[in-house]
Amino acid sequence: MRVLVVGGAGYIGSHMVRMLLTSGHEVTVFDNLNTGHEWAVPDGLMVRGDLLERSSVNRLFAEHSFDAVMHFSALSIVPESVTKPLLYWRNNVAGTLNLLHAMLEHGVDKFIFSSTAAVFGAPEYTPMDEAHPTRPITPYGKTKLAVEQALADLAGAGQLSSIAFRYFNAAGADPGGGIGEAHDPETHLIPVVLGALQAGDAKVTVYGNDYATPDGTCVRDYVHVNDLSRAHLLGLDYLAGHPGAHVFNLGSETGFSVLEVIAAIEEVTGLKVPYEIGPRRPGDPPVLVASSAKAKKELGWMPEFADLKETIRTAWAWHSA
């Protein structure tokens, strides 16, 4: 298939591009390089542009033909979304609407969207399945839910078939090397700790140790970036036979506390992680763990990286290189 990967220069998108190419698909990347990297995109695939510029988006669709679109681009730093909500609503919602508009104009009717566990808000039960209430508590989560709702309306009107994949915490790097997680600023636990180990002098802050969890620190579900990409490949096939708007939760279905992640990193790297306990961050739920039973049953998705240490090993190999 001819697949447009929006945000394909970013962390998850660049892994997706690599997997699509390996699977024989034709790929075009559209990215403004706001948080992405040109080096993460193979030569000849990149169209540099911003979703907020409708003329650039329209030109992209006028000059290329696509069978499907995968949409990874977004601003995704949760605390920043609280202080700069308009920036997030513009980029994540208005930008996505420009993309959807161009798709409809050009008769492209298959769409895969990067949603997030942040659409749920505070967990009412875990593991969280797709039926869990969606009451996002941050502007970031609200922008993602707004797009999910637009997708449901477009499917209702018979204009677009879509999948929204709600990722829990993406982690790791392609064992093939050359690409990995390189956000700036980095706010995700595993790369923050690995970066601190490399810097040699930086101390990691653990945000809160008084949560109602076994060791008091927040529990999260880490899913390997290549496993997320594999779900998207299965999603392309699924959309061919299943019109409508679908949502799937993607996680490893196992929770690890911040201190357990730090212990796993110490084991993988053989290095001691210096850390201090800081205050809680607003909007951090104590536990976020996915049920991915629906993706397993309907898509036949089976994560290959079942072991957190394996995932950390791939991230450490990327950081070390």
- 281 backbone dihedrals φ, ψ, rounded to 5°: -95, 135
Q: How far is the CB of 9 from ligand NAD (least distance, A)?
A: 4
Q: Is 140 a catalytic residue?
A: yes
- The residues, any chain, with a CB within 8 Å of residue 137's CB and separated by 6 or more, are 121, 122, 283
Task: Give the shortest CB-117-to-ligand NAD separation in angstroms.
Answer: 7
Cα separation, 171 vs 180, whole angstroms: 9
> Closest approach of Cβ 52 to ligand NAD, in Å?
5
Number of residues that bind ligand NAD (CB under 6 A): 27
Q: Does 96 bind ligand NAD (CB under 6 A)?
A: no
Element (H, E) at 47: strand 46-48
Which residue in 28, 81, 96, 114 binds ligand NAD (CB under 6 A)?
Answer: 114
Smallest gap, in angstroms, from Cβ of residue 76 to ligand NAD? 4
* Per-residue contact flags (x/-) with ligand NAD for residues 54 to 83, judged by CB under 6 A: ------------------xxx-x-------
Which residues, 145 to 174, sit near ligand NAD by CB under 6 A? 167, 169-170
Closest contact distance (angstroms) between CB of 150 and ligand NAD is 15
Residue of 11, 88, 140, 211 marked catalytic: 140
Q: Which of residues 2-31 bind ligand NAD (CB under 6 A)?
A: 7, 9-13, 31
The answer to whether 32 and 10 have CB atoms below 8 angstroms apart is no
Closer to ligand NAD by Cβ: residue 108 or 170: 170
Q: Which is nearer to ligand NAD, 15 or 313 (CB)?
A: 15
> C-alpha angle 197/116/263, rounded to 5°?
30
Answer yes or no whether residue 222 interacts with ligand NAD by CB under 6 A. no
Q: Report the DSSP pairing between strands 161-167 and 245-250.
A: parallel
Q: Does 99 bind ligand NAD (CB under 6 A)?
A: no
Q: Measured from the CB atom, is 158 or 175 closer to ligand NAD?
A: 175
C-beta of residue 97 within 8 angstroms of C-beta of residue 56: no
Residues 6+ apart with CB under 8 A from 54: 98, 101, 102
For the purposes of burial, counting CB atoms within 10 Å of the CB of 223, is it exposed (0-12), middle (13-18) or buried (19 or more)? buried
> Which lies closer to ligand NAD via its Cβ, residue 137 or residue 277?
137
26, burial (CB in 10 Å: exposed 0-12, middle 13-18, buried 19+): middle
Question: Phi/psi class of residue 112: alpha, beta or left (left: φ > 0; alpha: ψ in -120 to 50)?
Answer: beta
Q: Which of 25, 84, 106, 183 binds ligand NAD (CB under 6 A)?
A: 183
Q: Dihedral of CA 245/148/165/58: which sign?
A: positive
Nearer to ligand NAD, 23 or 187 (CB): 187
| Site residues, ligand NAD (CB under 6 A) | 7, 9-13, 31-36, 50-52, 72-74, 76, 91, 95, 114, 116, 167, 169-170, 183
Which are the catalytic amino acids?
Answer: 140
